[in-house]
Structure 1
Amino acid sequence: MEGASLGGGSRWMRPVELVAASLLAFIIALLLTGVFSRYVLAKPVIWIDEVASISFLWLAMLGAAMAVDRSEHLRLTLFVNLLPERLRGFASTLALVLMAVFLASLLMPAIDYAYEEAYVTSAALNIPMSWRASALPFGIGLMLLLALVNAVKGSRSAELAGSIVFAGIVGGLFWLGMPAIKTLGNWNIVVFLVGFVAFFLVIGVPIAFCFGLGTLAFLTFATNVPVFVMIGRMDEGMSAIILLSVPIFVLLGCVLDATGMGRAIVEFLASLLGHVKAGMSYVLLGSLFLVSGISGSKVSDMATVAPALFPEMKRRGHKPREMIALLATGAAMADTVPPSIVLIVLGSAAGVSIAGLFTSGFAIAMVLLAVLAVLARWKARGEAMEGVRRAPLSLIGKTLLVAAPALVLPFLIRSAVGGGVATATEVSTIAVLYAMAIGALLYGGLRPGRIYAMLVETAALSGAILLILGTASAMAWALTQTGFAFQLVSAVQALPGGWLTFMGVTILIFLVLGCVLEGLPAIVLMAPIMFPIARSLGINDIHYSMVVVTAMNIGLMTPPIGIGFYIACKIGNVSPDEAMRAIWPYIGALMVGLLAIAAVPFFSTAFL
């Protein structure tokens, strides 16, 4: 699975990039103003959330269009890369044509949706909500134009014509077969929301559009529900106010990567633990734990830690494949450390306390850290320690002094949100301001041009993430409307073994979905279905959340499909075939930790 590299977009998209970057900066300034007025002046500004909500939807849609232009929407490429070159070109063209079909089908409903919103007036600003909703048709129209341009420019004429004919014939056949299709009942879930989505994934259609196309086909061919309803569900799924923290935490990861604050943490831990056997493995795991508590991005975490530690680990006799295995599973371990974007999205999708998730996430990561550390110590029993000396206290003190401002940040975030002092969104803005100030004072600062580039990159990545959340929300809504969820509840409650059996089913589902769909879409798709079942069985929301996220992260790092595994291999410059043989004991250690977390609610709920 991949998005394209963070290269530049088309030249004619520069004005859109400028607007998106300005919107992100404006949102951060707006939220900081709100925090200052609420906590310092004790005079909340009531219209700030409304303005932020309007700006956020525009940022999401412009960012999604930028991601289309840059080819940065996440997609599964494993099966496409196995095709012969000629078929690979056809599959890529067909993916673009299908994206265009989806966007063209939504354009008029989105215009109608914006028109309908004109009759709704905002509470604080007293303006028509069409100011906000107009972002949907504008973004969809821009994405449609970009998809068509990419299809024409990047494809051979025969491939383009063949893709259009293929899509037209299949669509026509299903249109003619609608009367028979509607008699299939819930089997249409298997046909459209499983079969269609799986086919789109295999041919390389971006995940957001896979969900969108599957839902669109389901509503069009198997129900009498107008497509107009889908626009509302997408809007709801991608613009919840709590999701404002997603682009800001993404930006925080960029800032910390650029300033070198993560590297300072790595150097401090290396001076503290590097002299003991398996010490560099402990440093790698500890660095991922702490750095993840700052950046919220697994890619950024691994890219920060690996180059700093791998040379010394190689010198001590660690095999590259073992280092990659530890890197990948360590990143999976650390994904519940706040600020975790996955936890924020889960809290939004399932209605679970973000503060509770942040508090529990630390404890769960410690459980997984412990099992990986035990395995790492056993693996390092033959480590070459010749010439390794304990770092002098002066060096430890110096590295601690440099790393201290960065070390404070993850605990500041967790304590502020977990203690109910501020929301995740408010904390994210404070964290960005803190990181930029500390970066400027202690770590060399950032050039204005670099700051602008980070704003653009954040807008594009956030747009890709939020579009996935929107289309996954629409698909989850379609699933629940069929009554499938109620049937699933009845089936699960009838299983022997009660809640423990359900935990086993949950682990299996999210391991598979974590492999195929990556984390966020799997959560948004399944949370509305699985969490009510868990509650009916008496399972604590926080406990269940930790099982879901941990299982999903393990799936994300599990070959041969898991995207995280291939990212780790790329960062460490190791062949996936070589690393695949080494990762299974580490996956096994994480599974032991997961089973303990699932069976013992104490790990998840002790500190709530």
Structure 2
Amino acid sequence: MEVAVLISIFVIGLIIGLPVAITLGVASLAYLLVAEIPLVVMPQKMYAGMDVFVLLSIPGFVLAGNLMNSGGITERIIRFASALVGWIRGGLGLTNIAASMLFGGITGTAVADAASIGGVMIPGMKKAGYPADFSAAVTAASSTVGPIIPPSVPMIIVGALSGISVGKMFLAGAIPGILMGVAMMVTCYIVSVKKNFPRQAWRGTSELGRSFVSAFWALAMTGLIIYGLLSGLATPTETAVIASLYALIVGAFVYRDLKLSQVPKILIDSGVSSAAILVLVGFANVFGWILVSERIPQAIASAVLSVTENKFLVILIVNILLLFVGMFMETIAALIILFVPLLTLAQAVGVEPLHFATFAVLNLMIGLTTPPVGVCLFVCANIARLPLSPVVWAILPFLATNIIILLMVSYIPALATWLPSILIP
């Protein structure tokens, strides 16, 4: 009875379009009332979910990304990416993807990537003769690379949930993220040749060199983050603080595009964004605690294992489930609710935790570009001033490409585990 109330209210909340955090909170509150459990449990479990040291790195990385974005990083990265690949057929589409790969390694969030890169690239692509639906689709698809290439807010969440080293999680995403980016570039090129999209003239090695020098301090931020984690000199939280200070210095005193008068507003905006994430973490932790107390994870594992204990089939079932969930639920909420029970199932058939965590995050990133709740789809469609349906049709080739990469990472563990194994013993 209590579980039926929990699930029913949760599903109804999603259907009517309530924010996921509110839906989780209302469903959990209804369960506690029906089950006659003291309501003091709710703030206790919320606080327990948020009171995890590694989660302190989220505000730091959000702030660093906002500082760098306000400090002129977007334009410099796009200029460098354009000089690198813009001369190929469909060059602005390729530039879009390359910029997302570079920019995502700084912000760590797909939505920030879609909004920042899309705000510049989508109008630019439309003006150059690219269809609006294609411009929005390639921006939305490429934005999913951001949370795979380190740093990554979802991977920080996974580290907090599972105890897996955040440094290893970051490294595990590097190869899959690069594979996703390259595969989308190939798809973009094929579509561009087929539809005869324009290309820019080669502007010479001098422009490539100048654009690289201009973007160097921005690109170096990713190296700073990775070095801090790999060297052991800083925890993820300390690395996030260092990255924020670095972003402030580079934006204000090197690029000089960041005005000190902008900093208070950036701090407030970063605080609001971080608070929204942490409130979602808190409510999702209450919801997850209820599921565990009702033994739902064990029921899921038993149900799947009663059908098959074949490792490859279980991986396929988990991927199908996560792709379906990603169509309706925000990434962080899905991770907090489903990661631990599905990790238990995966370990039961011999899947390594680091490997599972990598393809689970990658899977849910793809969900950001699938209707009906694909946040990046909505952001890019809004920038392109289009309804959702033409963008959905245009993104299908990129979705197919990303699912192929997902299957490769799911069934070839070394793509996720090799780099962490050699750099972090």
Shared topology, TM-score over 0.5?
Answer: yes
Aligned counterpart in structure 1 of residue 410 of structure 2, from 598, 602, 607: 598
The residue that corresponds to 1:218 in the other structure is 31
Matched, 1:297 2:109: yes
1-structure distance, mates of 2:384, 2:41: 45
- Letter aligned with residue 600 of structure 1: I
Q: CA deviation at 1:587?
A: 0.9
Q: Report the RMSD for the aligned CA atoms in angstroms.
A: 1.9
Please state whether the residue corresponding to 2:87 is helix, strand or coil: coil
Structure index of larger Rg = 1
1-structure distance, mates of 2:253, 2:318: 47
Distance 1:227 1:315, change over 3 A: closer
2-structure distance, mates of 1:343, 1:418: 16
Question: Which structure would you say has the larger RCO, counting Cα contacts within 8 Å and 6 or more residues apart?
Answer: 2
2-structure distance, mates of 1:556, 1:309: 19
The residue that corresponds to 1:198 in the other structure is 11
Do the aligned residues in 2 keep the contact of 1:257 with 1:300 (CA within 8 Å)? Answer: no
Q: CA deviation at 1:478?
A: 0.8
1-structure distance, mates of 2:249, 2:6: 47
Q: CA deviation at 1:343?
A: 0.7
Aligned counterpart in structure 2 of residue 374 of structure 1, from 170, 180, 186: 186
Higher deviation after alignment, 278-287 or 470-479: 278-287
Do the aligned residues in 1 keep the contact of 2:49 with 2:282 (CA within 8 Å)? Answer: yes
Do the aligned residues in 1 keep the contact of 2:72 with 2:257 (CA within 8 Å)? Answer: no
Pairing 1:308-347 to 2, within 5 Å after superposition: 308-310=120-122, 313-314=125-126, 317-347=129-159
The residue that corresponds to 1:526 in the other structure is 338
The residue that corresponds to 2:211 in the other structure is 399
The residue that corresponds to 1:172 in the other structure is none
1-structure distance, mates of 2:127, 2:268: 39
Distance 1:488 1:575, change over 3 A: closer
1-structure distance, mates of 2:223, 2:98: 14
The residue that corresponds to 1:155 in the other structure is none
1-structure distance, mates of 2:227, 2:94: 25
- Letter aligned with residue 457 of structure 1: D
Q: CA deviation at 1:426?
A: 0.8
2-structure distance, mates of 1:400, 1:248: 26
Please state whether the residue corresponding to 1:334 is helix, strand or coil: coil
The residue that corresponds to 2:423 in the other structure is none
Do the aligned residues in 1 keep the contact of 2:111 with 2:375 (CA within 8 Å)? Answer: no
Which structure 1 residue ranges, 5 or more long, are not aligned? 1-180, 182-187
Aligned counterpart in structure 2 of residue 535 of structure 1, from 347, 360, 372: 347
Distance 1:211 1:269, change over 3 A: same
Higher deviation after alignment, 318-327 or 444-453: 444-453
Distance 1:559 1:396, change over 3 A: same
Do the aligned residues in 2 keep the contact of 1:316 with 1:383 (CA within 8 Å)? Answer: no
2-structure distance, mates of 1:456, 1:384: 42
The residue that corresponds to 1:209 in the other structure is 22
Pairing 1:76-115 to 2, within 5 Å after superposition: none
1-structure distance, mates of 2:234, 2:384: 38
Aligned counterpart in structure 1 of residue 320 of structure 2, from 480, 503, 508: 508
1-structure distance, mates of 2:38, 2:285: 16
Matched, 1:462 2:269: no
Do the aligned residues in 1 keep the contact of 2:76 with 2:214 (CA within 8 Å)? Answer: yes
Higher deviation after alignment, 474-483 or 497-506: 497-506
Do the aligned residues in 1 keep the contact of 2:20 with 2:330 (CA within 8 Å)? Answer: no
Deviations 1:163-201 (A, max 9, x none): xxxxxxxxxxxxxxxxxx4xxxxxx32x22321111123
Matched, 1:363 2:185: no
2-structure distance, mates of 1:338, 1:361: 7
2-structure distance, mates of 1:488, 1:301: 35
Pairing 1:87-236 to 2, within 5 Å after superposition: 181=1, 188-189=2-3, 191-222=4-35, 224-236=36-48
- Letter aligned with residue 360 of structure 1: A
Distance 1:598 1:419, change over 3 A: farther
2-structure distance, mates of 1:333, 1:298: 7
Higher deviation after alignment, 585-594 or 204-213: 204-213
Matched, 1:554 2:342: no
Higher deviation after alignment, 466-475 or 364-373: 364-373
Aligned counterpart in structure 1 of residue 53 of structure 2, from 222, 241, 256: 241
Matched, 1:472 2:310: no
2-structure distance, mates of 1:331, 1:345: 19
The residue that corresponds to 2:246 in the other structure is 434
Do the aligned residues in 2 keep the contact of 1:339 with 1:413 (CA within 8 Å)? Answer: yes
Distance 1:331 1:250, change over 3 A: same
Displaced runs of 4 or more, over 4 A: none
Distance 1:263 1:241, change over 3 A: same
2-structure distance, mates of 1:311, 1:477: 45
- Letter aligned with residue 235 of structure 1: Y
- Letter aligned with residue 192 of structure 1: V
- Letter aligned with residue 19 of structure 2: P
The residue that corresponds to 1:576 in the other structure is 388
1-structure distance, mates of 2:208, 2:106: 21
Deviations 1:38-70 (A, max 9, x none): xxxxxxxxxxxxxxxxxxxxxxxxxxxxxxxxx
Do the aligned residues in 2 keep the contact of 1:247 with 1:458 (CA within 8 Å)? Answer: yes
Percent of paired sites with the same residue: 26
The residue that corresponds to 1:285 in the other structure is 97
Deviations 1:333-383 (A, max 9, x none): 332111111110111112221111100111110121122122111111143
- Letter aligned with residue 132 of structure 2: P
